[in-house]
Amino acid sequence: MLKQNDRRYRPSVLRGSGFFLLKQNDRRYRPSVLRGSRFFTLLFLNFTGINGNYPLRKTVLLIFLLIFPLSFFFADTGTAIFVTATGGSYHLAGCRFLSQSRIEITGADAVRGGYTPCSVCRPPNPEALFTGDLSQNTSPLYRVNIAGIQNSGNANLRAMTPANVVGHVDGDTVRVRISNPPPGLNVVETVRLLGIDTPETVHPNREVEFFGREASEYTRTALLGRNIYLAFDWDLRDRYGRLLAYIYTEEGQCFNARIVLDGYAHAYLTYPFQFMDEFRSLEQEARQLGRGLWGPR
């Protein structure tokens, strides 16, 4: 140990922290800061077994003094913000308005979507959250299962991925162009509509099924060339690599739900999805009213 009469060192620091490299006249260091971290320093020295090796200890402590402040400098200072499934404001994590649903968004999302700060939890202004290039889309995909909504009519249109329908395959499959695709998506995608199944018209091993052409024409007429919005669920793609999505029109209507209600598609209940109960009810209503493929042959 260093002797008490060695005036090169500050006795108060020696007794309190175990730092042996600071000269008494060196005023660049604050003893209060050093004493606050003495526990971690002594723990590290004892754990590594170098508490008695003074040359090695001096080297390790010097490295520690250089790195420890940098950990604060490079710390993440980002603020997590959230929106609800239907609201127009963004909130901090503990806000009471997030009790029913919460969807994390980025500062860029807040600016693009025109969200306003919550007047209760008072998050930072959008300008403070995002100052980058809005042409770079880093937004997370809008998933209705994460949003926790059970009805397609409650989805948040402004949080969805905008696209344009550029091609038509059949009643439940279209091709879309996404001008600014978020991570995980391509500029051009084949979209298989989630939760529905229409009669076959293009299957290589099957004949055209009853009401297949009508269902295909229904989708082509309703979507081709239109601007739409994409929402997602538990699984992003099927085994063929097609994008699984709910398509929403600019008016905010879920096309997947509409085609079932109008009787041009079955509710596809083989695999679970967030709107399963709703789509099952819509199919029952279409059956009862004799719509589309449920009408007289």
Q: Could you tell me the pTM of the whole model?
A: 0.57
Instruction: Give yes or no for residue 155 having a pLDDT over 60.
Output: yes
| Residues 218 and 274 grouped into a single domain | yes
| Residues 197 and 277 grouped into a single domain | yes
| Residues 289 and 177 grouped into a single domain | yes
Residue 146 domain-assigned (yes or no) = no
For the chain, the domain total comes to 3
What b-and-e string marks burial along 264-275, b requiring 16 or more CB atoms within 10 Å of the CB?
Answer: bbbbbeeeebbb
Query: Pick from 19, 51, 73: which residue ends a domain?
Result: 73
Q: What is the CATH number of the domain that holds 242?
A: 2.40.50.90
| Residues 166 and 267 grouped into a single domain | yes
| Residues 42 and 102 grouped into a single domain | no
- Describe the crossing of helices 54-73 and 38-48 by its angle, rounded to 10 degrees: 130
**What DSSP string describes 242-282?**
PEEEEEE-TTS-BHHHHHHHTTSSEE--SS--TTHHHHHHH
The pLDDT of residue 31 is 42
| Residues 33 and 122 grouped into a single domain | no
Query: 103-142 pLDDT, tens per residue?
Result: 777 776 677 667 788 989 988 887 676 655 555 555 679 9
Residue 2 domain-assigned (yes or no) = no
Specify the 3-state DSSP secondary structure of 238.
Answer: coil
| Residues 56 and 98 grouped into a single domain | no
Q: Give the residues across from 227 on adjacent strands.
A: 164
Query: Pick from 116, 140, 164: which residue ends a domain?
Result: 140
Instruction: Give yes or no for residue 92 having a pLDDT over 50.
Output: yes
Residue 4 domain-assigned (yes or no) = no
| Residues 180 and 256 grouped into a single domain | yes
Active site residues: 192, 200, 242
Burial class, 33, CB count within 10 angstroms (exposed 0-12 / middle 13-18 / buried 19+): exposed
Q: Once rounded to an integer, what is the mean pLDDT over residues 27-40?
A: 46
Burial class, 191, CB count within 10 angstroms (exposed 0-12 / middle 13-18 / buried 19+): buried
Residue 145 domain-assigned (yes or no) = no
Across 98-112, 200-214, 272-286, the highest mean pLDDT is recorded for 272-286
| Residues 167 and 57 grouped into a single domain | no
The pLDDT of residue 47 is 52
Instruction: Give yes or no for residue 93 having a pLDDT over 50.
Output: yes
| Residues 165 and 287 grouped into a single domain | yes
Instruction: Give yes or no for residue 291 having a pLDDT over 70.
Output: yes
Using the 8-state DSSP alphabet, how is residue 209 labeled? P
The pLDDT of residue 78 is 58
Residue 6 domain-assigned (yes or no) = no
Range of the domain at 113: 81-140
Q: How far apart are CA 59 and CA 63, in angstroms?
A: 6
Q: What is the amino acid identity at position 74?
A: F
| Residues 104 and 218 grouped into a single domain | no
| Residues 216 and 288 grouped into a single domain | yes
Task: Mean pLDDT check: name the lowest of 91-95, 169-173, 198-202.
Answer: 198-202
